[in-house]
């Protein structure tokens, strides 16, 4: 079945440093979503990417969908303590398919 993997599992950065997490799917995806979960909280939707090679930006966050629609990345520029949390990618094979989450990358930011 469909599997979604993420690396790294954990990342500790100094405040102001950049951060990147990578997501890979075992199958071609119709779209990919990214979520953020703060410690003790629930996942919060950040963005959805649909097109091959698509790049979207939200302030300091840059999201990219691979050309083959099997991988994606999230890059945060100049991290802040408010960026702390676990970032999940989640993919679906068709528009109405179940959304499968990756294991997440836990980001710690050292002030």
Partner 1 sequence: DAGVTQSPTHLIKTRGQQVTLRCSPKSGHDTVSWYQQALGQGPQFIFQYYEEEERQRGNFPDRFSGHQFPNYSSELNVNALLLGDSALYLCASSQRDGYGYTFGSGTRLTVV
Q: Which residues of the chain form contacts with partner 1 (CB under 8 A)?
A: 1, 33, 35, 41-45, 48, 88, 92, 95-104
Closest approach of partner 1 to the CB of residue 105, in Å: 10
Work out how close the CB of 79 gets to partner 1 at its nearest, in angstroms, rounded to a whole number: 21
Cβ 78 to partner 1 shortest distance, Å:
26
Report the residue number, 70 or 103, with the smaller CB distance to partner 1.
103
With 0-12 CB in 10 A as exposed, 13-18 as middle and 19+ as buried, what is 48? middle
Cβ-based nearer residue to partner 1, 10 or 78: 10
Helix/strand/coil percent split, the chain, to 5: 5, 55, 45
Sign of CA pseudo-dihedral 80, 57, 69, 91: positive
């Amino acid at each position: 079945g469909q599997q979604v993997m993420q690396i790294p599992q954990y990342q500790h950065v100094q405040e102001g440093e950049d951060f990147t997490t990578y997501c890979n799917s075992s199958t071609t995806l119709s779209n990919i979503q990214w979520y953020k979960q703060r410690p003790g909280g629930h996942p919060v939707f950040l963005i959805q990417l649909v097109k091959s090679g698509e790049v979207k930006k939200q302030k300091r966050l840059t999201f990219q969908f691979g050309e083959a629609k099997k991988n994606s990345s999230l890059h945060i520029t100049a991290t802040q303590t408010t960026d702390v949390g676990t970032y999940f990618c989640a993919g679906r094979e068709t528009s109405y398919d179940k959304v499968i989450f990756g294991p997440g990358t836990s980001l710690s930011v050292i002030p």
